[in-house]
Structure 1
Amino acid sequence: MPFTTSTIKKLAEEIGAVIVTDPEYSFVGHITFKNGNKTFFHTATFDINYFGSAAIAKDKGVSNFFLKQFGYQVTEGQRFFSYKVCEKLSNAKNIDAGFDYAKELGFPVIVKPINLSQGMFVTKVYNKQEYYQVAKKILKNNSGLIVERFYNGNDYRIVVLDDEVLSAYQRIPLFIKGDGKSNILELMRQKQENFLKSGRKKTIDFEDYRIKLKLQRQKLNFDSVISEDSIVYLLDNANLSSGGEAVDLTENIHPDFHKLAVNITKDMGLRLAGVDIITNDITLPMLYYTTIEVNASPGLTHYASTGEIQTKRVENLYLKVLKALENGQNTKLA
């Protein structure tokens, strides 16, 4: 049974609610609370956010537009679409225009789908060949893409429920550490085994084209032996779902970033959100930041697998969500 479902089931029983899950995969559940209120959930999506606000958050381009309107620092970028979409929408820009824009920003740039999650296809590209390779892969699965300026800094996720930060952590991209004997492929397999032991599943895609690109730039391949204690990064994006790791900073987040994340969540019309930013250090006073994304259904399975404290934090978050829904504080159809 998936982590989120098993956690919700455990908590629902604790508060006397009746839960029914789909028998095949247990991704979807229906909860009947003691007071008669009812709600559905689907993986990490709950009836806690407005449907419209959640839909806006899912569309990265539109979300960025509104965040900028509200006065927040956001990534500089534009949306571009497949040739088929461009034929229907006269003002839509195609991927050739996307390449021109990438040149204008200056390589490297970030290229990513408009509305896919978990860091899928998010790629740092350095030249024309890589741009078109990535753009075509994205457009096989998505109607459009975003080309963004690349920003230096550390990657953080801050999870907010109403006025409270429930967790805050730095996300570090997938990496391996050399032992002086094993090649990169062997080290990746060892890391995957460690993930599985800790409860993380399907976190490393050994066929991910981005890993090969990243290794090529470092003049490495799967057969390269890495010297002892040397670190080799395999991806540029830091999503935990693609093998990234979390450094928990919940107890040390600076009030500046606490306020920022809460305000972004409220201004986007959300109650529950994962606010992703790039900055220098969220434990220090805020000097600068860039908002990368606001996720209305933040997945916390991988974060919870990093330790008992993190598991308890996620359980606490879901318990607060359930109590809000039980008390009729949901805002329908997130």
Structure 2
Amino acid sequence: MLRENGIDCARGSEFLLPWWADMLRQSDRQQFNHSMRDTKEALGYIDESLGFPVYIKPSRGSQGVGVARVETAEELDKLLNQCNEERVKVAVIEEELKMPDYRILVFDDEVVNAYERRPFSVKGDGVSNLEQLIDLKHKTLVDSGRDIHFERQLPIIMNKLGKMGLSMTDIIPKGTDVRLMDISNLSAGGTPVDVGEVMHQRWRDLAVRVARIFDLRICGVDLACKDITQSDSEYGVIEVNATPGAKQFMASGVAQQEKLEDIFVKFFRTL
């Protein structure tokens, strides 16, 4: 729908997981449906159309759970096998958009909130090892009211560390940032940075247009944009949310809480 309306978004395609494709092919309605593609064809599609790295997104779930960046055929095979074992029905495979990630919240044709989402990271102090830094950051987020469950993200963090040649016992030099996630969801420990005052009008108009396309009064538009202060910047819509969460943003600071409280008041008064 986005592409049909002239809106840029990440190139990608949907693939059935093998267990689900096999079940559908047994159906009288689907047995002659030769347009179905399962994940056995995913590697060929990536080689021909996208190239690595790509993002794999299970069709179920929320808050970025299960979304992963893969760089090799081996990683792809391992992740898709895991999805198949977990009985995921459909996986979306998309190109990587190497641009900052933003959430723009629209309510009744008006942008009421906009912030950059920066992936979970820790800053070295020259004394603590990575495990201690992660535990401290996790505790700080939870104490602030953020609902963060790193046990679900730990395998992804460990994989990321391995690619960087790091381990949990390594001590990080003072002032050095270590990015531990490839996704920037606030529920995965991401940090919000308000961009409402610097965002160009073009992106406000784009977010409102997206909400109208899907006939949504409330809409969270996830936007990758090279420079959100410029009108002619490269961009791509990552996702459209009909039920955008607010808890993680609200718990990230007093100013954020007050801002969302004002939005809620406006919403209920309108109802």
TM-score of the alignment, normalized to the shorter chain, above 0.5: yes
Deviations 1:172-210 (A, max 9, x none): 001111111111111100001111221113243365321
Selected match of 2:249 from 279, 297, 303: 303
Residue equivalent to 1:138: 83
Deviation at 1:156, TM superposition (A): 0.4
Paired residue total: 260
Whether the 8 Å contact between 1:177 and 1:229 is mirrored in structure 2 is yes
2:47 matched residue in structure 1:
103
- Deviation larger for 316-325 or 126-135: 316-325
The corresponding residue for 2:180 is 234
Matches of 2:149 and 2:21, distance apart in 1: 35
Give, in angstroms, the shift of residue 324 of structure 1. 2.8
Q: 1:125 aligns with which of 70, 90, 110?
A: 70
- TM-score normalised per structure 1: 0.74
Question: In 2, distance between residues paired with 1:134 and 1:208?
Answer: 15
Amino acid of the structure 2 residue aligned with 1:322: F
**How far 1:158 sits from its partner (Å)?**
0.3
Maintained 8 Å contact 1:274/1:296: yes
The answer (yes or no) to whether the contact 1:205–1:242 under 8 Å persists in 2 is: no
Instruction: Find 2:19's aligned residue among 79, 84, 87.
Output: 84
Q: Deviations over 1:86-126 (max 9, x none)?
A: 12144321111112212221111111112422111111101
In structure 1, give the amino acid aligned to 2:73.
K
For residues 63-93 of structure 1, give each alpha carbon's deviation from its aligned partner in whole angstroms, at most 9, with x where no partner exists.
xxx1111111011001011213212144321
- List gaps (5 residues or longer) in structure 1: 1-65, 326-334
Q: Deviation string for 1:207-241 (max 9, x for gaps)?
A: 53211111111011211211111111111010000
- TM (normalized to structure 2)? 0.91
Q: Is contact 1:158–1:169 with CA below 8 Å preserved after alignment?
A: yes
The amino acid of 1:78's aligned partner reads: S
Q: Is the 8 A contact 1:195 1:203 kept in 2?
A: no
**Equivalent residue number for residue 14 of structure 1:** none
Could you say what the CA RMSD is over the residues aligned between the two structures, in angstroms? Answer: 1.5
Q: 1:116 to 1:299 in 2, by over 3 A?
A: same
Partner of 1:157: 103
Counterparts in 2 of 1:269-284, with a 5 A limit?
A: 269-284=215-230
8 A contact 1:257–1:286 mirrored in 2 = no
Match of 1:67 in 2: 2
Q: Structure 1 CA distance, aligned partners of 2:232 and 2:266?
A: 28
Identical aligned residues as a percent? 33
Q: Report the 3-state secondary structure (helix = DSSP H, G, I; strand = E; otherwise coil) of the residue aligned with 1:78.
A: strand
Separation in structure 2 between the aligned mates of residue 297 and residue 308 of structure 1, nearest angstrom? 23
Which runs of 5 or more residues in structure 2 are unaligned? Answer: 25-29
1:216 counterpart = 2:216: no
In 2, the alpha carbon distance for the partners of 1:197 and 1:310 equals: 16
Q: 1:111 corresponds to which letter in structure 2?
A: I
**Which structure 1 residue ranges, 4+ long, deviate > 4 Å from structure 2?**
none
